[in-house]
Structure 1
Amino acid sequence: MADDKKNVGRDRGRVAAGQAYELNYFKRKHGLTEDQVRKII
């Protein structure tokens, strides 16, 4: 699914908890477990 190009810059600081690739990136970047990431988000 393509991103809505009208929303550029509005939510770049957020992590989409429903997207596995974003959770994995956040997990690797910060050295966390999946459970820790889900608690944070």
Structure 2
Amino acid sequence: MATQNPNQPVTYPIFTVRWLAVHTLAVPSVFFVGAIAAMQFIQR
């Protein structure tokens, strides 16, 4: 028990394939939602 430090997880790295997949979808999605929301207020 003394050899396992709970503050240093071994099997959970931060930069994983899941992290990459989430951010490649989330970053453009936030950009497009902001762009579409801004377009709603443009008067012709």
User: TM bucket by the smaller chain?
Assistant: 0.3 to 0.5
TM-score normalised over the length of structure 1: 0.33
Larger relative contact order (Cα-Cα within 8 Å, sequence gap ≥ 6): 1
**Higher radius of gyration, 1 or 2:** 2
TM-score normalised over the length of structure 2: 0.31
